Amino acid sequence: MINSISRQRLLKLIAIVLITSLIIITFNNYLNPSKPPQLFTNLTEYRVIKDAIATVKVPQKPERIITLHGTALESVLALGEKPVGTTLNGDRQSQPDFIKDKLPDVEILGSFGEPNLEKVLLLKPDLILDLDIASIYPQLSQIAPTIVTEYNPTNSWQPNLEIYAQALGKPELAKEVITNYYNRLEKLKTAIKQKNKSLTVSVVRIYPQAITFYQPDSFCGSILKDAGLSRPPLQNQTGGQLLISQELISQADADIIFYWAYGDDYHSKSERLQNSLQKITSDPLWQQLKAVKQGKVYQVPDYWIGYGALAANAVIDDLYKYILDQ
């Protein structure tokens, strides 16, 4: 009886050692581009997608999707899917509600640009979606079919959504999401005209010693442009953002100012935020702005920096709230 029990324990120990060794060897192989074992080479039902790096075979019905950037995550959620794992800019609780409410049981795999590859491997994904991460593409593409979209300097999220939708077999749903975005903006334009409002809108991010103007080719700037809203002269340029000194705060003036503070992100400390805000908003030059005097200055969340369809619609919600409902 004792010998039987000992034998069983020995067999279990051997099995554990073999499985552990296999995981270590497999993971090391995946991290070494010179050794290309690919679990997904036996795909029998697949579609072919051309992304920013390669032509990729992806499963017809992916069931274990991993997203490694906010653009990919928002696209997957907007298309009615949920990833098994994702990277985040910060922890789960610090995300906007439109993200946080959809991630209660999703594995967090690190931060944008720095995924934990071991966690990615252990989740056994059948599709990985990312944005502009060529540096670790060889490793990712050995774990599962990997779709990478390009960073768009004009912050237009629609092309990326369309590529991810192709990979998920949902191109028509992507069209619906994009159409809904433009329909909401058309309704906003009409409502603004009915109120006989001709508005200039300023968007700034406050730093301790300066402010940044967001241009029409930034994420939030492109939404304001699509909404037909006018911008101040120094916010009608290209380049995404324009950093100016505190002495030029007067150039931020408009009928409405939307702002958030440097550090208004998932790693910031509230004391630093308050110091930045206090320093700028107490400046006499800031106090002289027309929008400030008329109470038309609104602090908004940093999803105005934006990634995809969900953030874009959240910005539109804010425009309805502050332009029409005030």
For residues 204-212, give the mean pLDDT: 82
- Look at residue 146 and tell me whether its pLDDT is greater than 90: yes
Which of 28-42, 45-59, 66-80, 140-154 bottoms out in mean pLDDT, i.e. has the lowest? Answer: 28-42
Residues 6+ apart with CB under 8 A from 44: none
Of residues 8 and 110, more confidently modeled: 110
Tally of CB atoms within 10 A around 220: 25
Of the CA atoms within 13 Å of residue 201, those in its CB half-sphere come to: 26
Cα gap 308→155, rounded to integer Å = 9
Range among 70-79, 109-118, 193-202 with highest mean pLDDT value: 70-79
For the stretch 276-326, pLDDT in tens is 778 888 889 999 999 999 999 999 998 998 899 999 999 999 999 999 886
- Look at residue 209 and tell me whether its pLDDT is greater than 80: no
Residue 43 pLDDT class (50, 70, 90 cuts): low
For the stretch 235-286, pLDDT in tens is 999 999 999 988 899 999 999 999 988 654 444 556 666 777 788 888 899 9
- What fold characterizes domain 188-324? Rossmann fold (3.40.50)
What is 37-169's CATH superfamily?
Answer: Nitrogenase molybdenum iron protein domain (3.40.50.1980)
Two domains, one topology: 37-169 and 188-324: yes
Q: Where are the domains of the chain?
A: 37-169, 188-324
- Please work out, in degrees rounded to the nearest 5, the angle formed at the alpha carbon of residue 113 by the alpha carbons of 299 and 314: 30
Cα gap 285→263, rounded to integer Å = 22
